[in-house]
Structure 1
């Protein structure tokens, strides 16, 4: 009974009860799969879940501004009609949503030829200046697919690379590392000014904290221990991976965010490597340590199941989940993180 009560309290916190207190704020990273257009009722589901969860900040991936519309304006108006006030600004590929008035915005890494993007907004929370960045990084040269026997740009079957050096050379042919270096350079200016810095994104790249000795023979890692470039750059620059910090046991808490078992979508539309176990954690929320904030909790947001070898498989981990209330609009799981602020 005590365990059940604790779970209920945790979920209550993440659906906006505690998040509305002045000493806490939440950040939701959410790849919304082409603005929810790939799932019937997807856009409305995005709106309804934001109304339910009331996150302070949302870092979106796959903002496309379909049909000559501005997604930022459309989502703000849809939320207004539901009684929720949010702020945004024009962006493409990735996007930002804030419950707090936006004081400035910046394109850090502009989208070009679908090689990813990073945007920044600034606001204030409890008197503190905060810079929230959103990143949707290059999906090409995805070398974690090469490790699993698929070309990371064409997704055709190939021989598995034999060395870590070969994997990293393939990986760094992408623009993911270029984008994250632009972020680090801009964020250092914020840090020097005493600003709180948060980064959420779909990196299209796993973490060096997950591809370790204990997992080298799991999830079709094929015996490789890989220091993946982008999360390692962030780690070396002092940024904190919220989920892995709270849940350091990679075997119990893998935190997979892709690919997921969306029951409304055929399996063949959910997998890029149909004959492999491609499960990975590629959606993140990072922050830079700041005396005014503390990391309190995080949950995986979305359905529990995944896709493995073109089959729907149940979750067997100890990861904490916040399940959707209705239609799940995407092929990713989200990450919802709670911070304390004073």
Structure 2
């Protein structure tokens, strides 16, 4: 295991920094040349302790968990992982047990859960990749959220948008997570979730930006982030950067210069930039959020063009190749034990 820097506070409690990375790796990095190697290199560079993967496919019957652990070991880094499908978990710390909490079925998303022993503190860590169909964020932008065909007009009726949103399986997945996480909290475990939710945040579609990013006047209480907030979970990015105008925190679609733009844009005539990748955690006196950053290129894709939005977001820009069409989220916590 990699060495941990342990400090002591005035109460003589031990404190370590725990880095959590949420990372949609776009079909295991296979879409981008040398993409898998880029995934490995970004993990090493960020020195992340807990990683939540989206788009684990186990192509050609090769166990991705074994493949990534061996690749990191070859470069001198010890991690732990267990087999999974669609979502995956990688940890510097031993995995006590892992389950498919919300198993993938007909490509309607999944949540993988692991109980991880972090120097004696048990963390329930969840990796989510939620249903990509009925992706209602496209409706106000004039596109169907399942076929991505252009609509005759934009949809701005919030009730219709919410109805379409609930026709996905995202709410079922999030409700399963909340119920399970509440049980883990009762058992005294820390809870952290990282996921590509394929749904925006209610904290991002507000009055102040209703005429930006092709929201077309829509202010909407997006169901799943609102439900997480209602049950006490905190959005790590918005805890640090509460203003979505100065810090929109877009994670998709990312401008990957190695990929033709027609493979990056699903609604080519619209501005569909949004924050759909998240790290959530449940507050606990043992877990203090320090900072959150976006890992990935500064640029985005909007209206079939590569754009650079002047924002105050803090980026960790890619080393060389960037392996995905998403940006990742990196949150650092102080863990007391």
Same fold per superposition (TM over 0.5): yes
Q: TM-score, normalised by structure 2?
A: 0.95
Structure 2 counterparts to residues 275-286 of structure 1, below 5 A: 275-286=269-280
1:73-129: CA deviation from partner (whole Å, max 9, x where unpaired):
100011111111100111111100000000111111000010000011011224211
Tell me the equivalent position of 2:184: 190
Q: Which runs of 5+ in 2 are unaligned?
A: 7-14
Q: Find the partner of 2:264 among 255, 266, 270.
A: 270
2:91 and 2:247 map into 1 onto residues whose CA distance is 29
8 Å CA contact 1:126, 1:341 repeated in 2: no
SS of residue paired to 1:336: strand
Q: Find the partner of 2:302 among 297, 302, 308.
A: 308
Tell me the equivalent position of 1:79: 72
1:83 and 1:136 map into 2 onto residues whose CA distance is 29
Q: Does 1:96 align with 2:89?
A: yes
Tell me the equivalent position of 1:145: 138
Q: TM-score, normalised by structure 1?
A: 0.93
2:51 and 2:31 map into 1 onto residues whose CA distance is 20
Tell me the equivalent position of 2:18: 25
Q: Does 1:225 align with 2:219?
A: yes
SS of residue paired to 1:90: coil
Tell me the equivalent position of 2:240: 246
1:172-223: CA deviation from partner (whole Å, max 9, x where unpaired):
1000000000001110110001100000000000000000000111000010
1:298-342: CA deviation from partner (whole Å, max 9, x where unpaired):
100000000110000113100000011110000000000000011
Structure 2 counterparts to residues 160-239 of structure 1, below 5 A: 160-239=154-233
Tell me the equivalent position of 1:38: 31
Q: Does 1:57 align with 2:64?
A: no
1:134-191: CA deviation from partner (whole Å, max 9, x where unpaired):
0000000000001100000000011222310010000110000000000011101100
Deviating runs (4+, > 6 A) in structure 1?
none
8 Å CA contact 2:94, 2:118 repeated in 1: no
1:330 and 1:20 map into 2 onto residues whose CA distance is 31
1:105 and 1:260 map into 2 onto residues whose CA distance is 31
Tell me the equivalent position of 2:11: none
SS of residue paired to 2:81: coil
Superposition CA RMSD, Å = 1.2
SS of residue paired to 1:300: strand
Tell me the equivalent position of 2:255: 261
SS of residue paired to 2:80: coil
Q: Does 1:115 align with 2:113?
A: no
SS of residue paired to 1:147: helix
Q: Which runs of 5+ in 1 are unaligned?
A: 1-15
SS of residue paired to 2:141: coil
Aligned residue pairs: how many? 326
8 Å CA contact 2:139, 2:156 repeated in 1: no
1:126 and 1:221 map into 2 onto residues whose CA distance is 45
Q: Find the partner of 1:127 among 82, 95, 120.
A: 120
